[in-house]
Amino acid sequence: MEIGEVLVRVSSSSSFSFVPLNHRNLVPSHFHVHLPKASSFTLPSEKRIFILGIGFVAQSLALKLQNQGWVVSGTCTSNVKKKQLEEMGFQVHLFDANYPQSSMLGLLKDCSHLLVSIPPVAGIGDPMLQHEELLRSSLVNGNLQWLCYLSSTSVYGDCGGELVDEDYPTNPKSESAKLRLASEEGWLNLAHHLGFSVQVFRLGGIYGPGRSAIDTILKQEPLSEGQKMRKHRKYTSRVHVDDICQALMAAIYTTPPREVYNIVDDDPAPREEVFEYARRLVLKKWPGLNLEHLEQKGSSDVKTINQRGEKRVSNARMKKELGMQLLYPDYKSGLQSIIDQIESPFHCN
C-alpha cells in the first residue's frame, strides 16, 4: 500500500490574526461557527497541520486552512491522486505506508495539529497505528498539541431506530465498523500517552459537490455496494462536507470540552427519499433530461444484510459545545446548493 506526501507552503506575506473573542476572524465568511469563549487558546505563531489521508473532506479543509496562512502537509493514497494534487499546485511525494519515511515523520513532528483521515484496512487495521511505537518515539518531543481522528457513526451498530448520542454504547457489527472503533481507541490512547488534546469525530454519510445524489444521477452510474446496502434503510445520518469543515475549524481554534462528537445534520432521512428529491431537482432544472436509468436502479431487488443498523444520530453536543450553526441542516438544503452550482447536466460524464 502506498501513501503520498503532500506539502503545501503559503507565501510568507500571508497573515492571519487570531482574536479569541471574535469568531468572525476564525473561519470563512460563509461559516456560522459560534466558538465558546471559555475554551479558546493561543495558536503558535506558525500554524502547521499534518493530514494523514488528504481525501474528499481533508482536501476541502486543507484549502481553507491554506487560505488562512497555515502550512499544510499530509498524505494521499495513489498516483492518480498525486497527479490531481500536483495539478492543483501542491508538492506531492509517494511513500510506502508500511515503512513510514523519516522525512514524513519529521514533518509530522514539526506540526502543531494532526488530522487522521485514513480508513482502516481489512486485516491490518489503522495503517499508521501499526507503527504506534515509532509514532510515539517520533512525536514525544515534537510540537504536536492537537489530534483529531475522523471516524464513523457505524460504530454504534444496530440501535433499533433509537436516537443515539455520544454516550450510547458502541456495538459495531460490520468488520469495517469494528476496525473503526479500534482505530478510535488507538488514537485516543496515543494522544493520552503523549499528553495533547484529542477529538474523535463520528461522521455520518459524507456528501458535497461532486459526491451526492445529484452527481450519482447525472453520472448514470450503477449503484455501489454501499448504496445497495443503504437502499432499504429507514434512517441514514448524513453531513455536508462544509459542515464537517466547520466542526474541524471549531475544534482547531478552540479546545472542546469533550473528546467524542457526532458530526451529522438534523435529518436522518431514508436514501430513497433523498434520491427522489434529487431526481425532482434535476428534472426541474433540465426538464428534457432522460432519467430512464433511474427506473432500472429502483427496480433492482437487493437483499443485502445491512450491518450498519438502524439508528438516528444526535448532533446536540456538536451544536452546543462546538458552537455550530449548520450550513446545511438537511439534505434538501444541501442538494439545492449543489445543483445550483452545476451549469450543465453533462459536467459529471
pLDDT at 329: 98
Contact 154, 170 (CB under 8 A): no
What average pLDDT score do residues 156-169 get?
92
Lowest mean pLDDT among 34-38, 76-80, 233-237, 277-281: 34-38
| Average pLDDT, rounded, for the chain | 81
pLDDT band at 25 (very low <50, low <70, confident <90, very high): very low
pLDDT at 106: 80
152 to 72, 181, 259, 334: CA distances (angstroms): 24, 9, 14, 20
Lowest mean pLDDT among 258-262, 317-321, 344-348: 344-348
What average pLDDT score do residues 23-41 get?
42
Lowest mean pLDDT among 39-48, 150-159, 268-277: 39-48
Task: Report how far residue 241's alpha carbon sits from residue 211's, in angstroms, rounded to the nearest whole number.
Answer: 10
Lowest mean pLDDT among 1-15, 25-39, 45-59, 140-154: 1-15
Residue 246 cell numbers, joined: 466547520
Q: What percent of the chain has pLDDT over 90?
A: 51
Q: Which residues contact 93 (CB under 8 A, 6 or more apart)?
A: 4, 5, 6, 7
Is the pLDDT at 30 greater than 60? The verdict is no
pLDDT at 230: 58
Contact 187, 116 (CB under 8 A): yes
pLDDT at 13: 33
Task: Report how far residue 34's alpha carbon sits from residue 22's, in angstroms, rounded to the nearest whole number.
Answer: 9
Residue 285 cell numbers, joined: 432544472
Query: Residue 71's closest CA among 94, 97, 90?
Result: 90
pLDDT band at 81 (very low <50, low <70, confident <90, very high): confident
Q: Tell me which residue has cell 438534523.
A: 266
The pTM is what? 0.83
By DSSP bridging, strand 146-152 and strand 113-116 are parallel
pLDDT at 189: 96
pLDDT at 42: 54
CB-based burial label for 295 (10 Å; 0-12, 13-18, 19+): exposed
Q: Which region, left, alpha or beta, applies to residue 53 given φ > 0 means left and ψ of -120 to 50 means alpha?
A: left
Task: Report how far residue 62's alpha carbon sits from residue 320's, in angstroms, rounded to the nearest whole number.
Answer: 25
- In the three-class reduction of DSSP (H, G, I as helix; E, B as strand; rest coil), residue 125 is classed as strand
What average pLDDT score do residues 308-319 get?
89
pLDDT at 229: 59
By DSSP bridging, strand 2-8 and strand 71-76 are antiparallel
What average pLDDT score do residues 262-288 get?
94
Count Cβ neighbours within 10 Å for each residue of 41-79 and write b for 16 or more, e otherwise.
eebeeebbbbbbbbbebbbbbbebbbebbbbbbbbbbee
pLDDT band at 276 (very low <50, low <70, confident <90, very high): very high
pLDDT band at 333 (very low <50, low <70, confident <90, very high): very high
pLDDT at 79: 85
What average pLDDT score do residues 280-306 get?
66
pLDDT at 92: 60
What average pLDDT score do residues 290-312 get?
56
CB-based burial label for 123 (10 Å; 0-12, 13-18, 19+): exposed
pLDDT band at 303 (very low <50, low <70, confident <90, very high): very low
Is the pLDDT at 253 greater than 90? The verdict is yes
Task: Report how far residue 71's alpha carbon sits from residue 319's, in angstroms, rounded to the nearest whole number.
Answer: 28
pLDDT band at 305 (very low <50, low <70, confident <90, very high): very low
Is the pLDDT at 265 greater than 90? The verdict is yes
Identity of the residue numbered 283: L
Task: Report how far residue 5's alpha carbon sits from residue 73's, in angstroms, rounded to the nearest whole number.
Answer: 7
Residues 165-174 pLDDT 10s: 999 999 999 9
